[in-house]
Chain A
Amino acid sequence: MALAVAGVLAVFLLYTAVAGRSTPTLTPSQVQGKSGKLAVVGTVVGPVRGDSHLAGGLRFRLADPQGRSTTRIAVTYRGDSPPPLFRAGRSVVVTGTYSGGRLEGTDIVTKCPSKYTASTPAS
C-alpha cells in the first residue's frame, strides 16, 4: 500500500511538473520538418568557423551520431566559449531554436569523458 501511495504521489507531481518542461532531443536526420526549441545530438563536422562571442557566431555542421545517416544540419552558436573538448569529430548536444534548416544554438554540451573511451591504438 505504501508503495502505491508513493507511486501515486510521484506520478501526480510528475504530471504537474513535466507538462511543458521537456525538450525534444533529436538527431540531425530527425530534425527535418521540425521547428522551434529543441536539442540536437550529433557529431561535429568541420570546418568550424567564426567566434561564438561575435555577431556572426560559431558556425559548424552536425551529423548523425555514429554515421547512421548522411544528413547534416547547419548550426550557428552564439554565447559563451564552447567547452574545451568541442571540436570536429566530437559528440555534442546543441540546444537552440531550429528554423529554415538552421539551428541557432544557445548551449553546447560535449560528452564528458568520465570513462576511459577506447580509440584506435597507435601502431
Chain B
Amino acid sequence: MADLGRAALVVTLGLSVYALLAGAVAARANRRRLADSARNALFCSFASTLVAAAVLAVALARHDFSFSYVASHTNRALPTAYALSAFWGGQEGSLLLWLLILTGYGALAVALNRRLLRDLTAWVVPVFGGIATFFAFVLVAVASPFGTQTAPFDGAGLTPSLQNPYMVAHPPMLYLGYVGLSVPFAFAAGALLSGRTDERWIVATRRWTLAAWTFLGFGQLLGAHWAYVEVGWGGYYAWDPVENAALMPWLAATAFLHSVMIQERKGMLKVWNMVLVALAFELSVFGTFLTRSGVVNSIHSFARSSIGPWFLAFVVISSLFSLALIMWRLPLLKARTRLESALSREATFLYNNLLLVALCLTILWGVLFPILTQLVKGETRTIGRPYYDFFLRAFGLPLLLLMGIGPLIAWRKASVRALARTLAWPIAAAIAAGAALVAAGAGSSRPGLIAYTFSAFVLATIVVELVRGTRATGSVFALVARNRRRYGGYVVHAAVVLLAIGIAGSSAYSTTVERRLALGETMHVAGYSLTNRGVTVARKPNVTETRAHLAVTGPWSGSIASGNNDYVNPPEPSREVGIRTDWARAEDLYVIVDEAHPRTNLIYVEVLVKPLVNLIWVAGLVFLVGSGIALWPDAREQRRLVTRLVPAAP
C-alpha cells in the first residue's frame, strides 16, 4: 500500500515537471501538440495525486499503523470521521491535500478555459506545473506521508479538543482557500508570459478567486467558533501568527476582488492587480512557511520541521519571478484611463485597497517583528494584542465607512452636493443610531460607538440601494437575479457589518468577573447571579468528567455547568466551558471553571457576559449566502463575457 502511495507521488512529480518544461517550450515555440501533451500531463497529475490520497485515506480508515503517519495521528478508539480528518491533521497529509487540491483546481481551471483562452492557458499550464513540482518534490523527498514502520498495537491518538466537528471542516476549508489563490496567480502569470494582459484572465478567474476567498473567510470563522466553544479562553481570535497566516492572504484577496472591478470597468490598476494577486498567493505559501518552520513562536503547537527552508526558498523564487514578470510587462500594463477625481467610485475603491493592503502589511509586520528584532538586535521581541487592535481600529473603521460610500458614489467624478443627497438617508440613520446608542449608555467605548454608527450607515446604504432597485424592477428577487455579482456583494457587506457589530460588542462592551466560590456562595456579573451548587465527578471508560454546577438567576433562570475532562487515551485534559445564549438580549453568558475541587466543592470561576458575540457566527452564514449569490451561474453575464472575449481570442 505505502509503495503504491510513494509511486503515485513520484509519478505526480514526473508529470508536473513535464507540464512545467514541455508546457513552457510549447507556449514559447507555439507548438500546439506539445501544449496539448503538457496540459494532459497536468490532468494526469491530478489522477496520480488522487491515487496517493486514496492510499492514505484507506490507511487511516483501516487504522493501518504500519504507516508512521497513521500511528502518529490516530488510534483504534478514534471514530472513523476523526481518523479520516487526520489526513489534514499532520504536516505530510496537509501537504498531500494541498497538492491534491492544486492539481484538481489546475486541471479544472485549464479544462474550462482551454478553448476560449487557448493562447493564455498555454502559459498557465507550466505555471501550475511549476507550483505542483514544488509540492510534489517536498512530498517525495522531504516530508512523505508514506513512511513505514513495524506496526505498533495502537497509535498515539488525537488531542481531545480536536475531536470536534469544527476541526473536521476548518482545515480543509482553509486549504481550499489557500490553494484556490494559486488559480488567479497562475492565470495572471500566464497573461504576463503570453503578453495577453487584457481583462480576460480576470474574467476567467473571477469565480475562482471569489470561491477561494469564500473558503478562506468561512474557514477562519469556523476556526474562530471552534476556539470559542472548545478551547475555552473566552475569545475567538488571538492575533497569533498561525491565525494571521490565514487572515493576510484573505485581506490581499479582498483588495484584489475590489480592484479588479476597476480594471474591468475602466482599464485602470493593472499593475496593482498583478501585485495583489501575487501578494495573495505568496502570503498563502508564506503562511505555511511561518507555521511549519518554527521561526516564530506561536501558541499553536505546530511541529518544527525540515520543510521550512524549502518553503522559504519557494516563496523567494516565486516572488522574484512574479516581480520580474511584472517589470518585464510594465509597458503592457498601462492604464486605459486615468483617475479623474478624488471623489469618485474609482477613487473610493482605491482608498479601500490602500487600507486593506495597509492592514495586511501591518499584520505581516507584526508577524515578522520577532524575526527582524532577532536579526537586528539579537533579541526576539514580540508585539501583542494592543498593537493589532490599534491597527484594526485605525484601518478597519475607515474601511467600514468606505463600504457604505463606495457602492453609492458616482463613477468618474462626483460632486459633494450630489453625494450628500445620495447619502442623506444613510447619514441620518447613522446619526440617529449614534444618538440612540449614547442614550443607551454605549458611549463608554468610543471605538465601539464609532463602529456601531458606521455599521448603521452601511446597513442604511444597502437598504437604500435595495429599495431603489426594487422600485425599478418590481421585485427584490428580480433585482438580485439581474445583477448577482453586485447584490451578492451587498449581502457580503451586510455580513461584514454584522461581523463588525459582533466584534465591537463582544470586545468593547463585554464584562468579565473572576471569583473563588465556596459551596453556596454567589457572585454577580452584569445582572446575572451565579451560585455554586457543588462539584460532580463522572468516571467513564476513557474520560473522567469534573463539573461545577452553578445556579443562574437574572435575565433568565436555570443552571450552567463547566469544568474539565481528563482523558485516558491520549492522556490529555480539556477545559469544558458553559455557554448559554440569550437571543432576546443578544448576549452569551460564558462560564469558565478553572479549578473545581470535588472534596471541598470549592471552585475558581471566570464569568464573561459577551454582548452580540453571536452576530459573528450569524455573519458567517450571511457571508456564505452573499458569496453564493455572487458565485451563482449567470447566463446573462456569460453571454456578455462570450461577446466580449471571443473577438479578442485569435
Contacts and interface: CB of A to CB of B under 8 A. Distances in A.
A107 B365 CA distance: 24
A33 B637 CA distance: 68
A55 B49 CA distance: 59
A54 to B, nearest CB: 11
B156 A6 contact: no
A5 B155 CA distance: 53
A117 interface: yes
Given A80-B594, A116-B89, A116-B159, A122 B153 contact: yes
A81 B301 contact: no
Contact of A111 (B301, B514, B594): B301
Contacts of B604: 53, 80-81
B383 interface: yes
B310 interface: no
Contacts of A84: 564, 573-575
B369 A116 contact: no
A25 B370 contact: yes
B381 A25 contact: yes
A25 B89 CA distance: 28
Contact of B297 (A5, A25, A80, A116): A25
A118 B302 CA distance: 10
A113 interface: yes
A5 B386 CA distance: 24
Contact of A5 (B72, B354, B370): B354
Contacts of B154: 121-122
B7 interface: no
Contact of B89 (A6, A9, A115): A115
Contacts of B297: 25, 41, 93
B362 A14 contact: yes
Contacts of B264: none
Nearest to A30: B379
A122 B233 CA distance: 31
Interface string B233-249: 10000001010000000
B391 interface: yes
B585 interface: no
A17 B65 contact: no
B350 A2 contact: yes
A93 B382 CA distance: 12
B415 interface: no
A70 interface: no
A47 B411 CA distance: 69
Interface string A26-50: 1000100000000101000000000
Given A84-B575, A118-B72, A2 B272 contact: yes
A123 B153 contact: yes
A121 B71 contact: yes
Nearest to B384: A23
Contact of B387 (A10, A18, A119): A18
A83 B573 CA distance: 10
Given A14-B391, A83-B575, 6 more contacts: A7-B361, A84-B564, A113-B301, A113-B572, A114-B162, A115-B90
12 contacts: A2-B269, A13-B394, A23-B382, A25-B370, A85-B573, A115-B89, A115-B300, A116-B73, A118-B303, A121-B65, A121-B71, A122-B75
Interface of B: 65, 71-73, 75, 86, 89-90, 152-156, 158-159, 161-162, 223, 231, 233, 240, 242, 269, 272, 275, 297-304, 350, 353-354, 357-358, 361-362, 365, 369-370, 373, 379-384, 386-387, 390-391, 394, 514, 516, 564, 569-570, 572-575, 594-595, 604, 606
Interface of A: 2-3, 5-7, 9-11, 13-14, 17-18, 21-26, 30, 39, 41, 53, 66, 80-81, 83-85, 91, 93, 109-123
Q: 7 nearest interchain CB pairs?
A: A81-B594, A116-B89, A118-B72, A111-B301, A22-B381, A113-B159, A6-B357
